[in-house]
């Protein structure tokens, strides 16, 4: 009997991968180190490319059911309040990219993936199981878990995030690069947002070395806030408490709309933002990487989870086409994905520079983005939103 495919990590990427493999008829054992499947309490943006991947996983309707579809993306200057650019996301956008733009709560996204995985007999979801190391023995891969158990499988897919253990053994490029940018995030109930500040769109307030993004979540019942600024602080993980005084120092002097929004939050959670240089050696024999383990990126293009879901679809298709040659399928998957994901990694850094520009750079940004028509803006993201 064929051995199961082993997956390290049950975040968005790992669960998408389990589902994609099961839909192609492969048995899966997924190991998650935490005691439960859990996502940070925050929002996430989903481009048309994500909906194309979700369609292939038969998950699009489940995700859309809880999502919010904003009417536009807006950039405003956090010092003057002026509108810099507005990209409509309605009929013309949907006609162009054949899919909508969505924003959703991470819990809701994870819940949709988890429900679909639990409905699959071919998937075994195993929590409190940490992958420590692996051996590729040519005809099989053997994974060692932290309690000493050894598990054998057809292949190992490392979807264990930015601080991936599996990546250490395959790529070995050390710790991720700390960007020096920190994100503070919070989610409010709609009733907690002052009526004159609530907006149906994704709004980004660009300030010197800072930005604030806000948008509705969960069918409009919640409101997501992410404040980003430059800082040398470093805490590993995604859920440390944020120091409010530090936040205020960075946003001092900005528009009342920004400050009044920040004032609504009592407790912030903090993310230290990291990425890596793109590589193209994330597959070796029967072991490969997926999502942030393969190509961690800054969040400025809002694409990490989108890319992880696309990865899952492509990997499952390559494995299905390979007729048993697992190593060849892993290589084919990497070949199909590395340039696209590298481009997103690189562009995300550039977008971060633009959002946080000051002085002359900010002036130039405002002039060039402000001069674009919606059609120009759509053309600029065609490579991304066209999807896989
Ligand atoms: C502020 C911010 C905003 C973002 N906004 C967006 C957005 O709008 N749109 C978007 O698409 N992306 C966004 N992203 C990126 C997105 O969150 C990530 O790219 C995505 O969550 C990565 O998923 P993953 O499954 O690859 O990794 P993770 O979510 O990190 O999951 C890894 C999982 O593996 C588990 N694990 C780790 N090590 C082991 C081990 N050794 N054994 C077993 N389990 C293990 C972890 O517990 C975790 O559950 C944002 C990121 C940040 C920081």
Domains of the chain: 5-52+61-68+104-175+277-353 (3.50.50.60)
Which protein residue's CA is at the shortest distance from atom 34 of ligand 1? 9
Q: Is the dihedral of CA 227, 231, 236, 240 positive or negative?
A: negative
Checking if the pLDDT of 111 tops 90, the result is yes
**DSSP tag of 209:** T
**DSSP tag of 324:** T
Residue 370 alpha carbon to ligand 1 centre in Å: 33
Query: How does residue 106 score in pLDDT terms, banded at 50, 70 and 90?
Result: very high
Checking if the pLDDT of 234 tops 70, the result is no
pLDDT of residue 375: 97
Checking if the pLDDT of 150 tops 90, the result is yes
**Cβ(296) to ligand 1 under 6 A?**
no
Residue 201 alpha carbon to ligand 1 centre in Å: 24
Checking if the pLDDT of 267 tops 90, the result is no
The mean predicted confidence, pLDDT, of the chain is 96
**Cβ(73) to ligand 1 under 6 A?**
no
Query: How does residue 2 score in pLDDT terms, banded at 50, 70 and 90?
Result: confident
Checking if the pLDDT of 264 tops 90, the result is no
Contact 45, 203 (CB under 8 A): no
Region of residue 257 (left: phi > 0; alpha: psi -120 to 50; beta: else): alpha
Average pLDDT over residues 168-197: 95
Alpha helices in the chain (DSSP H): 12-23, 48-56, 60-66, 91-97, 106-118, 165-170, 244-251, 256-263, 304-321, 326-355, 359-370, 374-380, 382-385
Which protein residue's CA is at the shortest distance from atom 30 of ligand 1? 161
pLDDT of residue 16: 98
pLDDT of residue 244: 87
**Cβ(32) to ligand 1 under 6 A?**
yes
pLDDT of residue 235: 66
Checking if the pLDDT of 232 tops 90, the result is no
């Amino acid at each position: 009997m064929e051995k199961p495919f082993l997956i390290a990590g049950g975040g968005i990427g790992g669960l998408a991968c389990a589902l994609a493999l099961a839909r192609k008829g492969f048995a899966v054992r997924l190991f998650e180190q935490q005691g439960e499947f859990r996502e940070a309490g925050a929002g996430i943006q989903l481009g048309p490319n994500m909906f194309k991947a979700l369609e292939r996983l038969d998950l699009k309707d489940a995700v859309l059911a809880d999502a919010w579809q904003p009417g536009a993306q807006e950039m405003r200057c956090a010092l003057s309040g002026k509108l810099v650019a507005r990209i409509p996301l309605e009929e013309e956008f949907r006609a162009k990219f054949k899919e909508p733009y969505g924003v959703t709560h991470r819990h809701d996204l994870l819940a949709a993936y988890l429900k679909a995985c639990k409905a699959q007999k071919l998937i075994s979801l195993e929590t409190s199981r940490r992958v420590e190391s692996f051996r590729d023995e040519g005809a099989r891969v053997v994974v060692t878990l932290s309690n000493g158990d050894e598990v054998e499988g057809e292949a190992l897919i490392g979807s264990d995030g930015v601080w991936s253990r599996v990546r250490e053994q395959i790529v070995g490029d050390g710790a991720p690069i700390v960007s020096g940018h920190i994100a503070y995030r919070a989610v409010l109930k709609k009733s907690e947002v002052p009526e004159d500040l609530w907006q149906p769109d994704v709004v980004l307030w660009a300030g010197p070395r800072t930005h604030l993004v806000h948008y509705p979540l969960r069918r409009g019942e919640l409101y997501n806030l992410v404040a980003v600024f430059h800082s040398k602080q470093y805490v590993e993980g995604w859920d440390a408490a944020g120091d409010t005084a530090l936040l205020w120092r960075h946003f001092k002097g900005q528009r009342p709309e920004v400050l009044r929004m920040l004032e609504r939050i009592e407790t912030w959670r903090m993310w230290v933002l990291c990425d890596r240089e793109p590589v193209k050696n994330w597959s070796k024999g029967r072991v490969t990487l997926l999502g942030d383990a393969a190509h961690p990126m800054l969040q400025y293009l809002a694409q990490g989870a989108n890319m992880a879901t696309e990865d899952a679809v492509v990997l499952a298709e390559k494995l299905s086409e390979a007729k048993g040659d697992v190593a060849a399928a892993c290589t084919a998957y990497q070949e199909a994905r590395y340039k696209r994901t590298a481009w997103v990694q690189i562009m995300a850094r550039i977008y971060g520079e633009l959002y946080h520009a000051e002085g002359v750079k900010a002036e130039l940004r405002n002039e060039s983005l402000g001069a674009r028509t919606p059609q120009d803006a759509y053309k600029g993201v065609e490579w991304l939103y066209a999807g896989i």
